[in-house]
Amino acid sequence: MSEITLLSVGDVILGPSPVDLFEHVNPVLQAADITMGQLEVPYTDRDTIPITIDRSIKHLDGLISAGFDIVTFAGNHISDAGVNGIQDTIDWLEDHNIAYTGGGMNLEHAVRPAILEKQGTQIGFLDYNCVGPREMWATHNQPGCAYVHIITHYELDYATPGGPPTIYTWAVPDSLKAMQKNIDDLKQSCDLVVVSLHKGLGHTPVKLADYEQQISYAAIDAGADLVVSHHAHILHGIETYKGKVIFHGLGNFGTYLPFLAPKEDDRPDSWASRRRELFGFEPDPEYPTYPFHPEAIYTMIAKCVIEEGEIKQVSYIPSIVNKQAQPEIVTQSDRGQEVYDYVEAITKGANLNAQYSWQGDEIIIKVVN
């Protein structure tokens, strides 16, 4: 039995030139046996999205040209275009034979796994949202996303009302157990299970919230063979747990978002203005369609090599987003070390245990049991 290659990337937001967005990475994405990404927003041609936001269904053609086989769909933007956006996006994915998981027309649909078979190996995929308003969550009679319910508690460091708090987060036990049951059930019928989590502290370098490790470990305890994450719009570190790899944040990948770029006439309540106050950064003006943290230019393609129903090697392909918001693969001799050093620094800064080494132009993750 020959090797199976699984690639996974972070947040994808497609714009009016969706094919061009992936032109520098297409050969690598297309060559994989399975390519997966996080579809961050819904698409529809019905009149349910503000005219300033271009989310035409035709933008999804970029998924075809790049060779995506599966997208994860759970996230805090799944209902941005209402029921029509969810329905039209799902219809398009089904019409074009791209698998999906994490979103649906009700909760049963949203938690339904995607299962892909390659060379006799069954690989199952599940996806859960951990952030954003609960109005985005699917229920038994409401479209939305699969989710794990996270609680946030603020505890004062000292007895001064309004003083700086210590923040604690954790998953609601029943919600976490529901995720684990889904994973366990899927593992009974698949050789491998990949769990995708929409989680993390947005636009915040290095730091992880408490719940992120809790739910990642719980997924592996239930049978997951790999955990990949997205949402923060910036890379987060990597760790291993019980011999399995956890990507705590794959960052952005092919993310076109010009309408959130700062403007001279921004109102104080605009997102560009609030972003300065909440996250303390200014987007680089040389990236007009990519208004993210300056460190968000660093990204990666997570790679797994599968043999005989097991993950034999996990690595990542270092990439950098250019000024046209296009991800470009970089090599060891051409800015790849810049990405290596960044990922190593954010991994150590978050007290995670992953260790890295070059193998050609890929960065191998040493699995620590």
pLDDT value at 323 more than 90: yes
Residue of 149, 182, 151 lying closest to 168 (CA atoms): 151
- Res. 347: pLDDT tops 80: yes
* pTM score: 0.96
- For residue 296, which of 235, 229, 338, 343 has the smallest C-alpha distance? 235
- What pLDDT score does 50 carry? 65
**In the chain, % of residues over pLDDT 90:** 86
Taking alpha carbons only, the member of 60, 101, 71 closest to residue 186 is: 101
Residues 6+ apart with CB under 8 A from 194: 6, 8, 36, 123, 124, 125, 126, 224, 225, 226, 227, 228
| 52 confidence band (pLDDT: 50, 70, 90) | low
Q: All domains of the chain, ordered by start, with CATH?
A: 4-257+292-366 (3.60.21.10)
Cβ count within 10 A of residue 312: 11
What was the pLDDT predicted at 274? 78
* Amino acid identity for residue 218 in this structure: A
Q: Closest Cα to residue 23, out of 341, 327, 340, 243?
A: 327
**Range with the poorest average pLDDT among 94-108, 271-285, 317-331:** 271-285
- Give the residue-averaged pLDDT of 250-261: 92
Integer distance in angstroms from the first to the last C-alpha of the chain? 26
Quick one: CA torsion of 37, 98, 312, 195, rounded to 10 degrees? 60
Q: CB within 8 A of 23, min separation 6: which ones? A: 326
Mean pLDDT of the chain: 94
pLDDT tens digits for range 159-212 = 788 888 999 999 999 999 999 999 999 999 999 999 999 999 999 999 999 999
